[in-house]
Structure 1
Amino acid sequence: MQRKKEPDPTFPISRERFWYFLQREKLDRLILVLVIILAFSSIGLSLLEPNLSITDALWWSIVTLTTVGYGDITPITFWGRVIAIVNMFFSIGILATFSATIASILVDRKIKENRGMTNFQFKNHIILCEWNYRAKVILNELRSNTQTKTTPIVLIASIDSKPVDDKYLFFIQGQVSDDTLNRANLAEAKTVIILGDDSLDNLARDAKVILSTLTVESINRSVYSIVELVDSAYIETCKRANADEIIVGSEISSMLIYQATINHGITQVISDIFSPEDRNQIYKIPVPKDKVGLTFLEVFIYMKQHHQSTVIAVQKDEEGEVISNPPTHYILTEYDYLIVIAPN
């Protein structure tokens, strides 16, 4: 006998999924018993009780079954009261069973969410791969930014349960793979952050990051992928894997230490810019429409005079090439973005 195919849980709610859910939780039997009792008591009372319509009998049956008991309708005949007694006894069992079933479903769902066993259907969300100290910092920074304060973030990591109490953080247990990425709805994600696995040595860590990048890009080429490497030697490999932005953590740390050695205190500027508690932050904004066609120097002066903002770079298109400290004669187009240090 061919086994009945279960509905795919990654698709939105449909009639097929709804009936599968009722059968799986045995709610279909409970509903059937409930309908039979209501039909039996309603029809029986309307026939046995004088001046009691079928609608009034149905109303009385529902009120009694739910143990509300308004008392506006009361059986007065012997057999009417017999039906009422049967209804009352059955009500206790049905109500208890129904309440226990619903509670069990909710508890099971919460356990599955915390253990990373559910699927998600978000759109324009962020997927965070791996959990470590850096991931925690990234999450805190994203939540401190008004633009991403409530953005759904789906974490994919090989840990036992959801690591922090964040209303908009959702957890999927496991390694980065086709299955976990599909459960995170990578097809409609906006950004994927791929961090290194701290439990591995540097070579294996970067290899895992590159493999994860290949998997992500093979499923959704349009998603913006941010990749963390240890060794800069694998930057070109990551580029061939179509990573959009590559960050070499060890290289950045080394350069900051070098700058601190040569120019004491210079790293404080970097820390202030990236700290969410500091007044000035880095922002990316489109070129004002009335400034399109002007030179970089003209726009630089305008932004400083009118917005107390310093333009440090120009990006061609929203995700294109970044030109740091452009030449003064650079002509800005309607597709350019300004990267500025500004108070807001």
Structure 2
Amino acid sequence: MRAFLKRVAQPLLALLAFLRRENLLRLMAAIVALVVVGAAGLTVFEENRSFPDALWWAIVTVTTVGFGDISPTSLGGRLIGVVLMFFGIGVLGMFTATIAGVFVEKRLRKERGMGSYDLEGHIILCEWNNRTREILKDLRADPRAAEAPIVLLADIEAKPRAGIERAATVVMVGDRSLDHGARDAKAVLSVLTVESLNPAVHSIVELASEENVAHCERAGADEIIVGAEFSSRVISTAALDHGISAVLRELLSAQIGHDLITVPVPEQFAGARSSICSQA
């Protein structure tokens, strides 16, 4: 019995919270008061009219349905009818407009990616450019992230809810529309924001200059990737070891060839020293 009451109470409490949040309780109270006062006034001016009949007439009048089965004959009753008609149109119009506005806003929020999503352990990609597009392709090509929820934060007018507080990983790609200094400054501020909201998240940030690595480290970034530095080292290595860039490209991309992955250390090897280390 208690479980049944709980199942019944939850939808009712949710409905009550919705009505309170959208300020619909006041409009509903105004409609009820208008109907009751109008019905009571009709019984005063027309003594032969019962309250149930007057209540029915008030509801029909407020909703402007106008069945015509009951109509006031006295001057006072007709004046009450006029008041109910005018106020009924206004109050009901506000009520229906509020309901329609809720559904329209919900649809717009969904189209803008601002709906309520109960995500946890997901990946967040900040910024949208050619680099982010490739990152997304690689993530979807990897079986470990093929079906994982990924939230994309782009530079749009309406900011969607990313659920940073429950995210597992946040990737902050540099904003290509800014120069190197402003790009890295924005990246550092983004790291500070992310780490303050969720200190447990694994934050990965892309920088344009190696000079700002120390700032990102102080901000709490877990992994810092300097694009120009990485590219320079790959080029210099390929200049001496021809073809090494193709090997690195294959290992670092889940879309082609083999992959580099991390796996948990087997229990029998935990804490043990490798033979190479022991020989050294």
Q: 1:123 aligns with which of 105, 120, 123?
A: 120
TM superposition score normalised by structure 1: 0.51
Aligned-pair CA distance for 1:128: 1.6
Confirm whether residue 328 of structure 1 aligns to residue 252 of structure 2. no
- The share of aligned pairs that are identical, in percent, is 41
Listed as ranges, the gaps of 5+ residues in structure 2 are 1-9, 32-97
TM superposition score normalised by structure 2: 0.62
Q: 2:235 aligns with which of 257, 278, 288?
A: 257
Aligned-pair CA distance for 1:20: 4.4
Give the whole-Å Cα distance in 2 for the aligned partners of 1:296 and 1:113.
Answer: 53
Give the whole-Å Cα distance in 2 for the aligned partners of 1:102 and 1:147.
Answer: 42
* Structure 1 residues 14 and 328, CA gap change in structure 2 (3 angstroms): farther
Q: 2:268 aligns with which of 285, 290, 296?
A: 290
Give the whole-Å Cα distance in 2 for the aligned partners of 1:255 and 1:237.
Answer: 22
Give the whole-Å Cα distance in 2 for the aligned partners of 1:266 and 1:144.
Answer: 23
Report 1:208-223 matches (<5 A).
208-223=186-201
Determine the structure 2 residue equivalent to 1:274: 252
Give the whole-Å Cα distance in 1 for the aligned partners of 2:165 and 2:243.
Answer: 44
Matched residue count: 203
* Structure 1 residues 270 and 216, CA gap change in structure 2 (3 angstroms): same
Determine the structure 2 residue equivalent to 1:111: 108
Aligned CA RMSD, in angstroms, stands at 3.4
Determine the structure 1 residue equivalent to 2:169: 191
Give the whole-Å Cα distance in 1 for the aligned partners of 2:12 and 2:210.
Answer: 52
Give the whole-Å Cα distance in 1 for the aligned partners of 2:117 and 2:147.
Answer: 16
Give the whole-Å Cα distance in 1 for the aligned partners of 2:12 and 2:19.
Answer: 11
Q: Which has the larger radius of gyration?
A: 2
Give the whole-Å Cα distance in 2 for the aligned partners of 1:288 and 1:279.
Answer: 26
Confirm whether residue 243 of structure 1 aligns to residue 221 of structure 2. yes
Report 1:1-344 matches (<5 A).
17-21=14-18, 24=22, 109-159=106-156, 173-174=158-159, 183-297=161-275, 327-329=276-278
Contact residue 142 and residue 255 of structure 2 kept, 8 A: no
Aligned-pair CA distance for 1:155: 1.8
One-letter amino acid of the structure 2 residue matched with residue 275 of structure 1: S
Aligned-pair CA distance for 1:191: 1.0
Aligned-pair CA distance for 1:157: 2.0
Secondary structure in 1 aligned to 2:242?
coil
Moved over 4 A (4+): 13-17, 22-29, 101-108
Determine the structure 1 residue equivalent to 2:58: none
Q: Which has the higher contact order (CA 8 A, sep 6+)?
A: 2
Contact residue 191 and residue 225 of structure 1 kept, 8 A: yes
Give the whole-Å Cα distance in 2 for the aligned partners of 1:245 and 1:114.
Answer: 33
Contact residue 126 and residue 191 of structure 1 kept, 8 A: yes
Give the whole-Å Cα distance in 2 for the aligned partners of 1:15 and 1:145.
Answer: 44
More helix by percentage:
2
More strand by percentage:
1
